[in-house]
Structure 1
Amino acid sequence: MEEKSRSVSVAAWKFWPNRLKDSFMFGFNEDNTKVVHAACIVCKKHCDRIQRGYGGKVVNDVTTYGENGTNWILRYNLERHLNSEGHLKCVEIENGELPTQTSIARLWGCQKQRAENAIKPLVRTALYVSRKELPFNAFADLLQLCADNGGKITTSYGNREGCKAFIHILAEEILSSIRNEVHEKVNFFSWMVDGSTVAKRKLSYESELIYIRIAHECKPAVHEIDLISMKEYVRVDANNLYHATLRSLLSFLIPDLTTNCETPIENLVELIKPFSSKIIGAGADGAAVNFGCKTGLLKKWEDVCPGRLIKVHCYSHRIELASKDALIPHFKQVIDFLIDIYYHFRNSPKERAAVCNAAEKLQIAVVSVPKSQGTRFVAHTLNALHALKTNWIVYIHHFTNQREAESDMKAEKFLVNLHSFKFYILCRQYEDIVNWVSATSIAIQSDHDGSSIIDATKQIKRLKMKLTSMELRGGPAERKALDAYDRGDLNCTPLPFRFTRHEDGGQTKRKKETYKNLLIVVELVLCLPFSNAVVERGFSCSRQILTDWRSHLGHNMIKDLLLIATRKEQFEDGAIRENLVNKASARFMGSDGTSERGLVKRR
């Protein structure tokens, strides 16, 4: 059947109002004497959206004059169309007066927003569980408590598996924000690594913790990025550590990259080369596996950043090593006494109970002497000396009773030192030195307050000046003890030692270069990792995570929990915490409104 049509002559069309001419596209016959076709410009542009979002006459009118156009050229019909509901809605869309979504899309968007709002309380609760180190089974109980208090809590994902899924999403969002900052806001970054023997005892394999240090707008920040499992490697040596650290940094910089322990090192080096210009420093403790001059981990990393990598031996560890080298020959008696007293009470619950009874009778609060030997920062030694000073009278009372009751030779050995005034003065003199050294070590460990490697170097210089002055007139604790016992005539001989820095082969020296932008120089200096104390604190967090309630955690879950636990101070700020919850909820729902992880079935 032939389609009906009606044309109008061009001569008559020329007298039509401009409103019609501007709103329609017109088609002419071959000799341009008649107008045979007309289509509404606005309706043709937005026809698809009207068809998806509306129905009935509105769609028919827009389709007739917009999508297909009409061959029935009648001025009255065209003017009627311009006043129709369908055309007016298209004009509103064109002018931006209607939302860009169709009704179905708007409905789906509302559903997605409602789903995100329903997920947020669950994400917020999962963050609370991870921050407070609660067992995952407490997640469902906390949600039930919220529901009992009148909160609207969805029943989906309300189990321990849902809690794990939310914690993983939170950790992914944290890592993504750090990654974006490294890629977009900073020019340089450095990394720090340290191994964990605690994780080896708990999890039966060695773990390595990786941190990065960045500086944005002259404000340094340290972030944990990975907890490396060395389980898949045969042994923990420099080659395997090199391979593992390359994989760790690549997985951080390129999140979609997949590697394994069998990926050739040459391939990993080629992949990380585009980022090598940003890597300006590496920090570690002084273990041979890290600082070996020929086959150490940081020596191998020079292949990635040839001539640019600044290798820094942790200042806090160097102070600890230097203090041992300088002080052990002169204070060996005090150091051995602290070790003996620690193991004496640690290995005997009966002795600990007897000391507590003696302290109760004397009305003195007894303090346990902590472990001070081994690879520990100097502050542990200071704590041990303070505990010894607090318990001095209690120990004399306890060991005297023990010697009279059991004729114990160990008690006699302890009493010889405890009754010696010279030993007491030696302890106070040792306390003076360790107090200053410990203050410097703690100041260097607090690298989150905006300090740099230059500030750490100044701290060490000030410490050397204090120790030099002490050689001349003694320390405050020593002088106080002499005055208290009216023994000013008993002066200990000034110690003939020099507090020398534990050298690292000059790895911290930099080549002189000329920089045109001073801020870049400042950022570079602030990025240098002068202390590994933050990594040690990460391991302390891991010990708190691996509790009796969480004895069967997998490696990936420990990594996620550690990523959140190392940011406890940041999450005290409600705005930061809520921003993370919002982003994690959106990430969990996915860009298309569906969960990335799928539905977690309730058990």
Structure 2
Amino acid sequence: MSSLDVMKGVEVGETYRNDKACRQFITAISEVERERLQNETSDNKFISIVSDGSTDVSVIENEIVYIRSAREGNVKIYFCSLEEVKKADAAGIYNAITHSVSEAMGPESLGKVVGFAADGASVNTGKSNGVIVKLRENLSPSIVMIKCLVHRLELAFKEAVKCKAHDSLMTLLGELYKMYHKSPLQRTNLKKAFETLGTAPVMPLRIGGTRWLSHTLRAIQSLWKSYSAIKLHLNQIKATPNHRFGPKAKALSQLMTSKSVVFYGHFLQDILATLSNLSLQLQQRDSSIYTCHEQLKVTITSLQKLETILW
């Protein structure tokens, strides 16, 4: 922030442009935010905990914890902390969550917990020793667990598409991304192929990511936009004797021209367009169980229409 002020022509000196001063500022800001959180939620009778696991650059397991509460009909979400998990089991996650909430809102706030939202991992949902079991045992037996709807949608999709054509398409998308992402020379040659065809360059995209459905949809869409250029470039590689990418180009070319892969890719694009829209709707901050249910019904209707058209 100090560097930004300097760029704007503000004289800030060197007093605060060091690690120690930065630490003091961060500590002061956190104290003010913690006090604001306590003031805004002190009169609330009920709160829900929202948490998810994360791994930092030092490969240390952390748990990010939020509080969701309502006041005078207005639902708000507050960030508590990113808490280090000593051991990524149910007990370790439970301790991290309760410590985070206690530090942010005070120990008495744990008695207000009525809901717990997390992904569908067994460490959270386990009926014998999951985090939800420990919350009910130690805080309140009435705590309701809501599994992350977006996460469940992702898992349901991955379970539904287990087939050879899907595996082949994912292999094609993944290998094309790695080939052109890791090799500047091949990326440059692909751009030349676009120039030869007189079309704007569209590079292959990664299929993974935090929003897996949307990432996969964009990767498939980019494949069709760059299909002719990639096919041309792969043929050029195959025609070059002893090219180090020759075997890979041959394998990828076979996948790209496979009737089953091409048909399945277009089919999956239509399905993902519908599911991605549902996923994005479920991720809205102001969504409710009612709106999620209504959007789910719309999605089912859309999929049934696609089934009629396709079959």
2:266: which partner in 1?
A: 428
2:280: which partner in 1?
A: 442
Residue from 250, 256, 261 that aligns with 1:412: 250
Indicate conservation of the 8 Å contact 1:157/1:163, yes or no: no
Q: Aligned ranges for residues 502-581 of structure 1 at < 5 Å?
A: none
- Shift in CA distance, 368/196, structure 1 to aligned 2, threshold 3 Å: farther
Q: For the residues of structure 2 that align with 1:413 and 1:425, how far apart are their CA atoms? A: 18
Displacement of 1:309: 0.8
Indicate conservation of the 8 Å contact 2:172/2:256, yes or no: no
Aligned length: 306
Q: Aligned ranges for residues 168-179 of structure 1 at < 5 Å?
A: 168-179=27-38
Residue from 150, 164, 183 that aligns with 1:316: 150
Is residue 2:166 matched to residue 1:328? no
- Shift in CA distance, 277/171, structure 1 to aligned 2, threshold 3 Å: closer
Q: Secondary structure at the match of 2:30?
A: helix
- Shift in CA distance, 406/156, structure 1 to aligned 2, threshold 3 Å: closer
Indicate conservation of the 8 Å contact 2:63/2:83, yes or no: yes
1:280: which partner in 2?
A: 114
Q: For the residues of structure 2 that align with 1:391 and 1:139, how far apart are their CA atoms? A: 40
Indicate conservation of the 8 Å contact 1:369/1:384, yes or no: yes
Indicate conservation of the 8 Å contact 1:285/1:313, yes or no: yes
Residue from 224, 233, 238 that aligns with 2:79: 224
Q: For the residues of structure 2 that align with 1:187 and 1:306, how far apart are their CA atoms? A: 14
Percent of residue pairs identical? 25
Is residue 2:55 matched to residue 1:189? no
Displacement of 1:375: 7.0
Residue from 256, 278, 288 that aligns with 1:452: 288
Q: For the residues of structure 1 that align with 2:72 and 2:253, how far apart are their CA atoms? A: 59
Residue 175 of structure 2 aligns with an amino acid whose one-letter code is: D
1:64: which partner in 2?
A: none
Q: For the residues of structure 2 that align with 1:386 and 1:236, how far apart are their CA atoms? A: 38
Q: Aligned ranges for residues 240-251 of structure 1 at < 5 Å?
A: 240-251=92-103
1:305: which partner in 2?
A: 139
Displacement of 1:298: 1.7
Residue from 191, 204, 213 that aligns with 1:356: 191
Structure 1 stretches of 5 or more lacking a match?
1-128, 130-135, 148-152, 255-271, 475-493, 495-603
Encode CA deviations 1:212-243: one digit per residue, 9 max, x unaligned.
Answer: 1122232222221101123xx3x322112211
Q: For the residues of structure 1 that align with 2:110 and 2:80, how far apart are their CA atoms? A: 17
Is residue 2:3 matched to residue 1:165? no
Displacement of 1:204: 4.3
Structure 2 stretches of 5 or more lacking a match?
none
Indicate conservation of the 8 Å contact 1:342/1:369, yes or no: yes
Q: Aligned ranges for residues 251-290 of structure 1 at < 5 Å?
A: 251-254=103-106, 272=107, 274-290=108-124
Indicate conservation of the 8 Å contact 1:189/1:213, yes or no: yes
Is residue 2:89 matched to residue 1:237? yes
Q: Secondary structure at the match of 1:226?
A: strand
Q: For the residues of structure 2 that align with 1:339 and 1:416, how far apart are their CA atoms? A: 15
Displacement of 1:165: 2.5
Encode CA deviations 1:445-487: one digit per residue, 9 max, x unaligned.
Answer: 122xx2212211222222112111211113xxxxxxxxxxxxx
**Length-normalised TM-score, structure 1:** 0.47
Higher relative contact order (CA 8 A, sep 6+): 1
Q: For the residues of structure 2 that align with 1:312 and 1:342, how far apart are their CA atoms? A: 36
Displacement of 1:422: 5.0
Residue from 448, 464, 468 that aligns with 2:300: 464
Encode CA deviations 1:490-519: one digit per residue, 9 max, x unaligned.
Answer: xxxx3xxxxxxxxxxxxxxxxxxxxxxxxx
- Shift in CA distance, 356/175, structure 1 to aligned 2, threshold 3 Å: farther
